[in-house]
Amino acid sequence: MKDRHNRKYANRRKKLAADIRKKGISDERVIQAIEQIPRHLFVDSALEKRAYEDSALPISCGQTISQPYTVAAQTEHLQLQKGEKILEIGTGSGYQAAILCHMGAEVYSVERHEPLYLSARKVLKDLGFRPHLKCGDGTLGWSAYAPYDGIVVTAGAPVVPEDLIQQLSVGGRLIVPVGDQKVQTMTRITRVSEDEYKQEQLKQYKFVPLIGEKGWD
Ligand code: SAM
């Protein structure tokens, strides 16, 4: 990442990273990524001063940039190793994609709203990251590049999208919030072998809905 971007607000970012550690995130690589990635570049300039609060903030198209703690928790649940191929569903602002790129993943990310896809593409490029981005329905995954070592869904799904399960490599992890539109349980599905999966229910969250063919209408 280009150096000039991460000097501004460095102290606030440090404090945010420390707060997230206190809230229970223990993967130091995740904490370090939160400390490095300039979140203020992923929100509207009118909200820049609030970028290092641990809260979700509005972005365009009626969507949100997730709370930093949530981004950190989803990233930790992925159990990411450097060089792994990760698919994100719901690029939104591009912040989660930047965290994953910074941690050394090969990132693929799908967003259904074109204005968000375009603005995320710009900010990620300006920062020197090179994820593969696509505008489309992420409930179907991105089969052209499957299988993935990890898939992270950053919007709330009514059920686990079957196509995403199919696009996991053996050993791959799918992190997806599943529930109704008010509350979702973070769910981790690990592909243990070609036809065996392990499912874990983690904490409860509230996400914007995953809308698409295999999501909400
Ligand atoms: N990861 C994002 C970030 O770091 O800013 C969080 C964005 S927001 C919580 C969830 C995003 O999922 C929204 O931008 C929304 O448009 C997108 N989304 C919802 N349904 C989708 C779908 N079927 N395919 C792709 N993106 C979808």
pLDDT for residue 19: 97
The preferred substitution site among 154, 164, 184, 186 for testing ligand 1, maximizing ligand atoms within 8 Å of CB, is: 154
Domain for residue 178, yes or no? yes
Specify which residues 95 forms β-bridges with: none
Domain for residue 217, yes or no? no
Among candidate residues 100, 202, 205, 214, the one with its CA nearest the CA of residue 148: 100
Q: Report which residue type is found at 22.
A: K
Q: Is the pTM higher than 0.85?
A: yes
Crossing angle of helices 68-78/28-36, nearest 10°? Answer: 140
Q: Which DSSP category does 105 fall into?
A: -
pLDDT tens by residue, the chain, 217 residues: 655 666 789 999 999 999 999 999 999 999 999 999 999 999 999 999 999 999 999 999 999 999 999 999 999 999 999 999 999 999 999 999 999 999 999 999 999 999 999 999 999 999 999 999 999 999 999 999 999 999 999 999 999 999 999 999 999 999 999 999 999 999 999 999 999 999 999 999 999 999 999 999 9
**DSSP of 114-158:** HHHHHHHHHHHHHTT---EEEES-GGG--GGG--EEEEEE-SBBS
Token duo for residue 112: 């259904």
Give dist(CA 195, CA 167) in Å, integer.
Answer: 12
Q: Report which residue type is found at 32.
A: Q
Overall number of domains in the chain: 1
Provide the domain limits for residue 72: 3-205
Within a 13 Å sphere around the CA of 2, how many CA atoms are in the beta-carbon half? 11
**How many whole angstroms from 79 Cα to the centroid of ligand 1?**
21
pLDDT for residue 7: 79
Q: Which DSSP category does 30 fall into?
A: H
Domain for residue 43, yes or no? yes
Token duo for residue 130: 């090179």
CATH code, domain with 44: 3.40.50.150
The preferred substitution site among 112, 113, 118, 217 for testing ligand 1, maximizing ligand atoms within 8 Å of CB, is: 112
Domain for residue 198, yes or no? yes
Q: Which class for 171: exposed (0-12), middle (13-18), buried (19 or more C-beta within 10 A)?
A: middle
Q: Which class for 21: exposed (0-12), middle (13-18), buried (19 or more C-beta within 10 A)?
A: middle
Domain for residue 214, yes or no? no
Domain for residue 25, yes or no? yes
**DSSP of 168-182:** EEEEEEEEEEEE-SS
Token duo for residue 188: 């981790």
Domain for residue 54, yes or no? yes
Domain for residue 212, yes or no? no
